[in-house]
Amino acid sequence: MAHKIEVIDRDDEVEAEDGQDILNALLEGGVEWMHACGGFCNCTTCRVKVEEGMDNLSPREQDEENTLKRFQGEEVLEGPFRLSCQAKVYGDVKISEPEWF
């Protein structure tokens, strides 16, 4: 079953297979997305802001939380931010690129 990932600030849309992470779905769909560590949860360059559909993503694991806190600070965990290499898709989601650069 395929799910829709809409990148609202870029006007892009791709499909993700059930359980596929956001980053690989974007890349396979032809959307360029920064990912300096290669999707190994060692940086936050692939982060996304989840605009809609957070419940359609896998829960954050401890590694993802630790990486987000290390690079962005504790408060990032209170927001709708995920590492696209770690967030697995189980339904339609809308994302945007955070303004952290």
Residue-averaged pLDDT of the chain: 95
Helix %, strand %, coil % of the chain (to 5): 25, 30, 45
Residue pointed to by tokens 């945007």: 96
pLDDT digits (tens, 9 = 90+) for 63-97: 999 999 999 999 999 999 999 999 999 999 999 99
- Determine the topology of domain 2-96 in CATH: Ubiquitin-like (UB roll) (3.10.20)
Instruction: Record the pTM.
Output: 0.95
**Domain boundaries in the chain?**
2-96
